[in-house]
Amino acid sequence: MKRSSLSDLLAVSIFMAWLLSGCTSPSTPIPIEPTQTNVSSQPTNESDAPPQSDEHYSITEVEELAGFDVKEPVYLPDGVSFEYATYQKSPYPNVTLHFKLVHKTYGDMGVFFQIVQEPQAEAMPNPNACGTSGTDCEAIQIGDMTVKYRLSAPTESLMWDADGFSFQLLRTAGEPNKTYKDELLKVVGSIK
């Protein structure tokens, strides 16, 4: 009986590990897509999907691909570091910077936030960025720019325009039930 229970436990453990890994083999890459700022411009079926770059680049490499200077934050919260950049050429060029969080208590939490930068002339406004009524964002003044902040638990997003570019910061990880509004505003205010 003891041998049977141990075998059953091992089988259940293997099955759970397989489920938690997303049912993929270690050699199957999981695609990472940049955050879209315009829901209405997203393709409606796979045949219309623009080619996506899941390649990871340095800032210098992605600037060469994009043809513009990528703005980076000078300030990052404790445990946050730049991980990699991605580039999307169509339907409009944009660069996404991915920042990782290694938390003191929770360890490696993966991508903490992403910052998307695209030429303002190319950027399509997202009519639902501040909710269907348009009132779900808080307008916050940082210097001479207005930042729209939206909390959609468990995520937070900030949107702003500066120097001919549209930006969006999307936080997707962090401590459970915690907002990072003040820290994220410091990040936005430090972008150069």
The 3-state DSSP class for residue 18 equals helix
Residue 6: pLDDT band (50, 70, 90) is: very low
What pLDDT, on a 0 to 100 scale, did the predictor assign at position 67? 94
Distance separating alpha carbons of residues 63 and 82, to the nearest angstrom: 15
Residue 191 neighbours by CB under 8 Å, 6+ apart? 71, 72, 73, 74, 115, 162, 167
DSSP per residue, 131-142? -TTS-S-EEEEE
pTM above 0.85, yes or no: no
* 188 phi/psi in degrees, rounded to 5: -60, -45
Report in angstroms the alpha-carbon separations of 171 from 122, 155, 156, 174. 23, 6, 5, 8
Query: What number is the average pLDDT over the span 26-54?
Result: 40
Q: What digits encode the pLDDT tens for the residues 106-160?
A: 999 999 999 999 998 776 677 778 887 778 999 999 999 999 999 988 899 999 9
Would you state the structure tokens that stand for residue 151, as one six-digit string? 């909390």
Query: Closest Cα partner for 33 from 98, 82, 92?
Result: 98
Looking only at the bridges linking them, the beta strands covering 107-119 and 138-142 are unpaired
Distance separating alpha carbons of residues 43 and 50, to the nearest angstrom: 8
Bridge partners (DSSP) of residue 101 are 80
What pLDDT, on a 0 to 100 scale, did the predictor assign at position 65? 95
Q: What digits encode the pLDDT tens for the residues 78-103?
A: 999 999 999 999 888 999 999 999 99
* 36 phi/psi in degrees, rounded to 5: -90, 135
Distance separating alpha carbons of residues 128 and 80, to the nearest angstrom: 29
- Evaluate if residue 49 carries a pLDDT over 60: no
